[in-house]
Structure 1
Amino acid sequence: MVALHSNTMRHPFLLLAGLPLLVIAARAASDRPLSPLPIPGEMVMASPADPGRFTFVVGGDNRSVARDVPPPPTAAQIFAETRLLRPAFALWTGDSIYGSDDTPGEAAHEYAGFLRLAATGDTPVFNAPGNHEIFRRPELERVYESCMGRLYGSFDYGRSHFIALDTEEADRAPGVGPAQLEWLRKDLEANRGAEHIFVFSHHPLFPTPDHPRAGFASAANRDEVHRLFVRYHVTAVFSGHEHLYYASVHDGVRYIVTGGGGAPSDGAPQDGGFQHYLLVSVDGNAVKIQVLQPWRLFEKVGPVQPDGSCTAMVMNYGHDPLSVLVAFPTDQLGAGATATASWTYKGGTHPVPAEIVAPLHPGETDVRVMARQGRGTLVVLTPATK
């Protein structure tokens, strides 16, 4: 057993970590490269303009309550808000389907539904399999690989390294088996020069004290994995399985349980049992993690007017300002087009910065704007003056 020095938190929080800046060395490509899920349609994972500055979303545990029961609407709303937030990508911590006692055909049908849902986020998504996907059934493991891709692997984005672990190996209880553990050790060593290392999995290493059996089946296995995370200065580990929010710090490594995608709650709201997802902002050696509740961020884009102008309203009912990307359905504006934004409350109007940025898709004009918390932000797109 390793000595575990921890701090814990059950409630929404803002984490700003000023970590020691690592020397960035050349890193070998992963021998198990993890690709985004095969989402329908054209999904582009663009390189960051600044390799040390980007955002990503983390969510998971959106499965339904029973076989042949539709999934809850939470994930659909999370992906709708993801489309507005436009992060570089999203990490999903498993239980994307009910699975379990499904036939292989039923599981494949559920995966197709989840992939269609994920496509609405207009963002690449990476998934780590959950117990509902695998259920200790080798045939469901094969279905997962066929429909979703690798069971575990890693990828780089900017100066950061991301690792998906499979804690649901079909031939063993929850944890990380010997072969995967050896791969993890080599992958961490090969990427020790990364500015940040983020890990995501389904079963947490450190679940809530109220649910100690929700973690790894073997404490020795958990501690071996944890020692690797400590040795290689892992920035954060995101997990699901428990349908709640819970954060803890063990020997300097941040562990976050984020199972708020709509599956039945495992706790009262005051104990973290609320629907949520995370927005993670990387800015050099600083990492900020925001806990967002769905159904707090909306947009309404109006039609293109005869003069070529267009307006949109972004409604942010959360408690933090959020940078969003509004996609206007026109690209016929001319080189001198402008975008302005403002929020109005009780008779006072306040301007906020708005910037036209490179569009993600043909036929649209994208505007990046900071949506004021607790307000509606009006965005106005005006064509060039002829």
Structure 2
Amino acid sequence: MQKKNKANLALGISAAGFLGTMAAGGSGFVMGLFHHGFLAATIGGLADWFAVTALFRKPLGISYRTDVLRRNRKRIMDAIVTFASDDLLSTENIMRVIREQDTAGLLVDYLEHRGGREGVIEVVDTVVLKVVNDLDSEALARDLAPAVREGLRGLALENVLLELVRTLGEEQHSKRILHSVLTIGEQVLQSPAMQQVLFDNIKVLRKEYEGESAGRAFVLSALGLDDKELLAIFNEKAQKGLEDLLSEQTEGYARLKAGFEGMVLSFSNDASLRHALGEWKERWLAQMDIEGMIASWIENVLKGEEPFWLPHLNAFIEQRIDDFVHSEAWQRRFDKMLKDLIESELTKHHELIPGLIHERLDEFSDDALVAFVEEKVQDDLQMIRINGSIVGSLVGMGLYLLVWAAERMWGL
């Protein structure tokens, strides 16, 4: 049963008891005791009913000093706003609660155990991809192209290339280059295509050597030097020469190596070659569509749903999260920075709180405000009514007992 019904029932019982004992007309002690108890309970219950009802409406149509909430709405609202904003929600009180919280610990728990790591990466990926994919490639290329062109023009490309050539002439590089060239030469010599070319050239050379001379042809025939034999002799000599060079122990290899290194060094110091490379660079820069190349690179490489840089970005974020999770110093700095930021913003914008509270309270009409307050305090107010009836009955019976005792003592 609701407390309001209990309070009404208590008042009803009191009134019924009062009327019943009065109608009975008994003059005995017990009847008088109950009569005065019911009378006082009825008076107390009615008084408390009037007082409780007067807070929210006009009991019995009486308007004087009743309907308290509606009549004093502005004063009550101002008091609520002042209390809530200046006391309950003051910057000091809010920060006292916030400073007791381990915000860094909460963030670590979120990152490690509540899917926060994946959520942070997803949000960063979404935002960065949105920013990159919304770039105006052509406009960005127009802005970057002059700087890129000047950067390339300022780059001494001819010096870089000649320095690279000079480096190839150093012993450790020249030996590898010569070994590779000689190995390739050995493979080319043994290839069917090269053997066919050599065979055809030997035939032509032999015919030119013999010419109209029967004697030369006879000598070659007598020695058994036909085309195939000549090719075999050439292959043997060439193979032997390549093997000697590959051994890197012969004088011929030393001369070859020295000649190669000298040639490379000569190229690297050739002023005319340097000048030619410089002119080629200028022509290349003049002809090259740098703006178009940048725009194409942005569209085809930088943009997209899964561009090349995305895994690197995710790895960077993962590493920074790991650093934060395992660094107490980072966490202390984050906790202090966040709380200082909150305090600064609260101090800066605290005057907004009264306005927000006023705005929320102004949404209530008078009837809605009365219903809202009555709903929140109804049970307590109805208990006041019940207690009023009980206390009134006890006081009434107590006074009756005092009067009865006094009459007996003094013979009244």
Range class of TM-score, shorter chain: under 0.3
Greater share of strand residues, 1 or 2? 1
Greater share of helix residues, 1 or 2? 2
Give TM-score, length-normalised by structure 1: 0.14
